[in-house]
Chain A
């Protein structure tokens, strides 16, 4: 089945630094990948859509200059949280749907970011 891998699974950083999270589709190609965020005891919220070879599209209220997304290939998307602050601490989860296949969004295991 489709597998999505995220790295790192958890990261702690100091306020003001930048953190990069990788999302890879291991056994399929995905022109589009999706980044979600989940705060404690809240549901998942779509942040942005990552498009291979073009700019990401961001949901309303998500700062594109703070959350930089790069979709370098059909199997890799990265999310960089720039100048992180404690309020950016959250669980970031990427997802992807195979270019060819069922209408199923496969999620990665998530990356827990803690900003001190």
Chain B
């Protein structure tokens, strides 16, 4: 059974204080690992897709990395508008493209 575990559950940062979110996963065969951002009462907003170990992707203050067992979402000099729940999900090989197994998410709060 595919599993995704995210840590920490919640993270409070001061504006400008860089940190990382962790996503550990077990999957029969990884087709893709996804990062989404979810604001309260909204659907997930796509951030990144990673496909193979060693891959990295960046978008503004966010950088996602991938190893064979985990992924990290690095947040550099965060701003209050980065406050949200960050979701990690895996897509297993041989399954429907729409079947993502999600982690519980990390609630990020950035204080000004």
A-to-B contact residues, CB < 8 Å: 4, 6, 32-34, 42-46, 49, 91, 93, 95-97, 102-110, 112
Contact A104 to B46, CB < 8 A, known contacts A43-B87, A49-B99: yes
A44 to B104: give the CA distance in the assembly, Å. 8
Q: Is B105 an interface residue (CB 8 A)?
A: yes
Question: Quick one: which of B43, B89, B97, B104 contacts A109, CB cutoff 8 A?
Answer: B43
Residues of B within 8 A of A103 (CB): 31-32, 49, 91, 97
Given the known inter-chain contacts A43-B87, A44-B87, please indicate yes or no for A32 contacting B45, CB distance below 8 A.
no
Q: Please, which residues of chain B bring their CB within 8 A of the CB of A107?
A: 36, 43-46
Q: Report the tally of A-B residue pairs with Cβ distances under 8 A.
A: 61
Which chain B residues in 89-103 approach chain A with CB under 8 Å?
A: 89, 91, 96-100, 102-103
Most buried by B among A4, A44, A108, A109: A44
Residues of chain B within 8 A of A97, CB atoms compared: 97-98
Choose one: A6, A102, A105, A110; the contact of B100 (CB below 8 Å). A105
Give A93 to B41 CA distance when docked, in angstroms: 11
CA distance in complex: A110, B103 (Å): 18
Are B42 and A105 closer than 8 Å at their CB atoms? no
CA distance A66 to B49 in the complex (A): 33
Judge whether A44 and B102 touch: CB under 8 Å.
yes
The residue in chain A whose Cβ has the minimal distance to the Cβ of B43 is A107
| B25 CB-CB contact with A under 8 Å | no
Q: Are A34 and B98 in contact (CB under 8 A)?
A: yes
Contact B105 A43, beta carbon cutoff 8 Å: yes
Distance, CA A72 to CA B25, complexed state (A): 36
Which chain A positions have C-beta within 8 A of B98? 32-34, 46, 49, 95-97, 105
User: In chain B, residues 42-79, which have Cβ atoms closer than 8 Å to a Cβ of chain A?
Assistant: 42-46, 49
Q: In the bound complex, what is the Cα–Cα distance between A104 and B11 (angstroms)?
A: 27
Identify which of residues 1-39 in chain B touch chain A, using a CB-to-CB cut-off of 8 Å.
31-32, 34, 36
B24 to chain A, nearest CB (A): 14
Other A-B pairs beyond A4-B43, A106-B46, A110-B41, 15, CB < 8 Å: A6-B43, A32-B96, A32-B97, A43-B105, A44-B44, A44-B100, A96-B98, A97-B97, A103-B49, A103-B91, A104-B49, A105-B34, A105-B46, A109-B42, A110-B42
